[in-house]
Amino acid sequence: MSPESSPQGTVSRRHVLAGTAAALVWGPGVSRAIAETSAPSIHWPVLRLLDGTSLTPLELNTMPIMLVFWETWCPYCKRHNVHIERLYQATRGMPIRVLGATTETNADKLTSYLRTNQLHFPVAHIERRFRDQFSQRRIIPLTCLVAANGRLLQAIPGEMGYADLYSLAGQVLQDISPKISDTTRMAS
């Protein structure tokens, strides 16, 4: 499976790394400013989280969001979610929200899956049509980075490693590097 660029914001990991390199050369605001003004806007519904709380569109547009679409039956998602959990723990208290989204309707099955796999990041049940605004491709996991202004910066299909997720989060967080580096060293 080969990710490709599209108007929906789907890009390959190579494009993510190129964007990161451009930010290092020209400064972090240059490539991000262009992307934030030309990228499609996400129309957030009220997201009902598994823990019973909800996030309103107003709350969702207060900080950048890394949103991962996944399903309980997907073995790639299972491996990917380990890295999402690690990123979630490393970025707690930072100005980024890490969320999972699934179409799984059986709350007991979902709760059991999260407990068994020791996943603590917030998870919302979503409708398929909500996912369609991020990408028309049906590949999961699908990792999306949304700016605080609600613009889709990246939508990357397929399993990613922790370093790739770290790089993706780094597009919106200047001060993420020290904390994530410390967490990476402790986990090794």
- Domain spans of the chain? 15-187
Instruction: Tell which residue, 173, 127, 178, has the closest CA to residue 153.
Output: 173
Q: Domain 15-187: give its CATH code.
A: 3.40.30.10
pTM of the model: 0.74
Give every CB contact of residue 67 below 8 A, 6+ residues apart in sequence: 99, 100, 101, 134, 143, 144, 145, 146
> From the centroid of its chain, how far is CA 143?
4
Give, for all 188 residues of the chain, the pLDDT tens digit.
333 333 344 444 444 444 443 343 334 443 444 444 567 899 999 999 999 999 999 999 999 999 999 999 999 999 999 999 999 999 999 999 999 999 999 999 999 999 999 999 999 999 989 999 999 888 999 999 999 999 999 999 999 999 999 889 988 886 444 454 554 444 44
